[in-house]
Structure 1
Amino acid sequence: MVTYKTIVVPTDGSENAKRALEHALAVADRNHAELIVVHVANIVSAISNFDQTPISGGYVSEQIAEDMEETGKEILNDVVKEIPTGVKVKSVFEVGSPGPALLAVAKKYNADLIVMGSRGLGPLKGLFMGSVSSYVTSHSTCPVLIIK
Structure 2
Amino acid sequence: MTVEYKTIVVPADGSENSKRALQHAVSIAERNKAQLVVVHVANIVSAISNFDQTPISGGYVSEQIAEDMEETGKEILNDVVKEVPADVTVKSVFEVGSPGPAVLAVAKKFNADLIVMGSRGLGPLKGLFMGSVSSYVTSHSTCPVLVVK
Quickly name the TM-score band, shorter chain normalised: over 0.9
TM-score by length of 1: 0.97
Residue number in structure 1 paired with 2:63: 62
Q: CA RMSD in A?
A: 1.0
Matched residue of 2:8: which SS? Answer: strand
Matched residue of 1:55: which SS? Answer: coil
Evaluate the alpha carbon distance shift between residue 17 and residue 144 of structure 1 in structure 2; reply closer, same or farther with a 3 A threshold. same
Residue number in structure 2 paired with 1:23: 24
Matched residue of 1:30: which SS? Answer: helix
Q: Distance in 1 between matches of 2:124 and 2:101?
A: 16
Residue number in structure 2 paired with 1:87: 88
Q: Distance in 2 between matches of 1:30 and 1:141?
A: 23
CA displacement, residues 94-145 of structure 1 (integer Å, 9 cap, x when unaligned):
0000000000000000000000000011113262355100100010000000
Structure 1 unaligned blocks of 5 or more: none
Identity over aligned pairs, percent: 86
Structure 2 unaligned blocks of 5 or more: none
Q: Distance in 1 between matches of 2:63 and 2:100?
A: 23
Residue number in structure 2 paired with 1:141: 142
Evaluate the alpha carbon distance shift between residue 97 and residue 46 of structure 1 in structure 2; reply closer, same or farther with a 3 A threshold. same
Q: Distance in 1 between matches of 2:9 and 2:122?
A: 19
Number of aligned residues:
148
Residue number in structure 1 paired with 2:120: 119
Matched residue of 1:22: which SS? Answer: helix
TM-score by length of 2: 0.96
